[in-house]
Amino acid sequence: MKTLTRMINKNGHFYVTNLVLLVFCTLFMLTSTRADGFIILNSFHTIPLKIFFQNITFFGDGLPIILISLGILFLLKKHRKLAILLLIAYITSGLFSQILKTFISSPRPSVYFEMHHYNYYLDTFANCRIGYRSFPSGHTASAFAAATIFSNYLTRRHIWFFSFLYAILIGYSRIYLAHHFLIDVFAGAFTGILFGTFTPLWYGKIVKLKYWKYFSWGNFPELIKNK
């Protein structure tokens, strides 16, 4: 608990900003329906913005996060711990999100509007995901998990801000592209922050395990030599 408190205090700007964001989203959801909130958040659509968010949303996918982690692992020897933290946070937050998706049936926006006979249409409906696996947003969970890891690991000034900006752009892109409602993004953000915060604590326990040394990068040359 002391380690957790120390980490949050050290990265106070990031956590306070996210808390304000989550509180604002909660108030917004309490004062508007799911459909009305979605319409408000999609009230301004342009072709350049559509192209921008179609590209930015890709960075909340698993492949870029895995590639970045592997790049750090192989190219930046001093920051291999960061690579492992990113992978743990991505895997745990992703699995948790997928479990929730399995047990919670929640229609995607285009399906929701069709079900409830709303006379509302966006051009992004043509290419958006459909079905009943909207809650929570997996892309948002991955983005906020990665942002939390980067913000906690890299102590340089303003890293927390760029990490937060990256995560919030990913989250909003999911609404803008009509893949999710705000409640889905809210749950994804909360999940990502939660798992991103606890990952360093889990890492500390993992490295103390008896057989961890056999998986440690530093022991690979020795293991290969012994073979």
pLDDT tens string, the chain, 227 residues long: the values are 677 888 888 888 999 999 999 999 999 999 999 999 999 999 999 999 999 999 999 999 889 999 999 999 888 888 888 999 999 999 999 999 999 999 999 999 999 999 988 888 888 998 898 999 999 999 999 999 999 999 999 877 789 999 999 999 999 999 999 999 999 999 999 999 999 999 988 887 776 665 555 555 544 333 333 33
Q: What was the pLDDT predicted at 223? A: 33
CA-wise closest residue to 172 among 184, 162, 158: 184
Compute how many other C-beta atoms are within 10 angstroms of the C-beta atom of residue 49.
12
Angle at the Cα of 161 (from 160 to 163), degrees rounded to 5? 65
CB 176, CB 39: distance < 8 Å: no
Q: What was the pLDDT predicted at 222? A: 38
Tokens representing residue 78 in the block: 């001093």
Q: What was the pLDDT predicted at 208? A: 65
Task: Report the CATH number at residue 57.
Answer: 1.20.144
What total number of domains does the chain contain? Answer: 1
Q: What was the pLDDT predicted at 158? A: 85
Q: Is the pTM of this model over 0.75?
A: yes
- Residue 158's φ and ψ, nearest 5 degrees, are 75, 0
CA-wise closest residue to 146 among 65, 55, 74, 84: 65
| Residue 178 lies in domain | 2-226
Q: Report the C-alpha gap between 113 and 158 in whole angstroms.
A: 40
Q: What was the pLDDT predicted at 203? A: 82
Q: What was the pLDDT predicted at 10? A: 87
Q: What was the pLDDT predicted at 111? A: 94
Q: What was the pLDDT predicted at 209? A: 63
